[in-house]
Each structure stands twice: as structure tokens, then as C-alpha cells.
């Protein structure tokens, strides 16, 4: 696929995840797609959709802003900022964050084959809260 189509694919995938369009989201992934990084090892299209559904259970009022997308014929990287209100304890974050605003940035690098995302690697990001003195930065080596 062309770089432009791949950029659009990862953009559509992310927007579908944040708008809870699970059918559209599933259509962006290959059957054997994987997601790694940030302590994740998710395998298969349905498991990836389930992961995104879980994000909406962990946080409410989720919102996303795409900061940049860069693509080639078989890889696309998307940088985005998201925020929401924490509904349940999140791994590695203090429990006092429950009911508070969480803001994060992430970079996902996606491999693409045949018009579908085959892998997503989460390479880095930040977590912070305007409600608590919290700031975390992480990078996948």
C-alpha cells in the first residue's frame, strides 16, 4: 500500500478505538495482529479490540488528539495525546488517581501488510494528571 493509505489506516484505526466503533476497529487489524510494549503482549484481532474496549472501562470521557502520522509502504507511526477520567486502578499508577483526570501521550509504530495492521509496538509516552502531582515518562528500548 502507499504511504498515504497507510497513514490513513492507522489514523482510522485509532479514531475507531476512541469512538468505540469496534467493527471498524476490527477491520483495520489482520487476524494475527499483535500489540507489544508498555507491558503488553496482545495477540489476535479480537484480543486487540478487547484491549481497546477495556480502555473505555478503565477510563471514561476518553478523548484523543492525533499529533502526527508518518508512514511508508509497510510501516506507519502515529503520535497521539489522550485524556480521560480514571474509573479503576491502573497498573503502575497510584490508587488516588481514581476519579481524577489522566492525560497521556503515546507513540505507536504499526507494521502493515495487505491493507491491515499486523503489529503495533508502543514505543513511548508520558502520563500526567492535572489533579495530582504525577508525571511518568516511559520509553521502550
Whole-number pLDDT of residue 52: 93
Confidence of residue 6 (pLDDT cuts 50, 70, 90): very high
CATH of domain 3-139: 3.10.450.50
Please give the C-alpha separations between residue 20 and each of 17, 62, 103, 117, 137, in angstroms, as whole numbers: 5, 10, 19, 18, 27
Instruction: Read off the pLDDT of residues 37-60 as tens digits, 9 standing for 90 and up.
Output: 877 889 999 999 999 998 888 888
Main-chain dihedrals φ then ψ at residue 20, nearest 5 degrees: 65, 35
- For the cut 60, the answer to whether the pLDDT of residue 130 exceeds it is yes
What pTM does this model have?
A: 0.88
Average pLDDT over residues 6-17: 97
Domain ranges of the chain: 3-139
94 and 115 Cβ atoms separated by less than 8 Å: no
Instruction: Read off the pLDDT of residues 52-90 as tens digits, 9 standing for 90 and up.
Output: 998 888 888 989 999 999 999 999 999 999 999 988 877
Cβ-based neighbour number of residue 23 at 10 Å: 8
Amino acid at each position: 500500500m502507499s504511504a498515504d493509505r497507510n497513514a490513513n489506516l492507522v489514523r482510522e484505526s485509532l479514531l475507531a478505538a476512541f469512538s468505540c466503533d469496534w467493527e471498524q476497529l476490527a477491520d483495520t487489524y489482520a487476524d494475527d495482529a499483535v500489540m507489544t510494549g508498555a507491558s503488553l503482549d496482545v495477540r489476535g484481532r479480537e484480543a486487540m479490540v478487547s484491549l481497546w474496549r477495556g480502555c473505555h472501562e478503565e477510563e471514561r470521557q476518553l478523548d484523543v488528539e492525533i499529533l502526527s502520522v508518518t508512514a511508508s509502504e509497510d510501516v506507519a507511526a502515529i503520535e497521539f495525546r489522550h485524556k480521560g477520567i480514571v474509573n479503576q486502578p491502573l497498573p503502575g499508577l497510584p490508587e488516588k488517581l481514581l476519579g481524577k483526570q489522566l492525560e497521556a501521550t503515546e507513540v505507536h509504530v504499526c507494521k502493515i501488510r495487505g491493507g491491515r495492521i499486523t503489529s503495533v509496538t508502543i514505543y513511548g509516552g508520558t502520563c500526567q494528571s492535572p489533579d495530582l502531582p504525577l508525571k511518568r515518562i516511559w520509553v521502550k528500548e
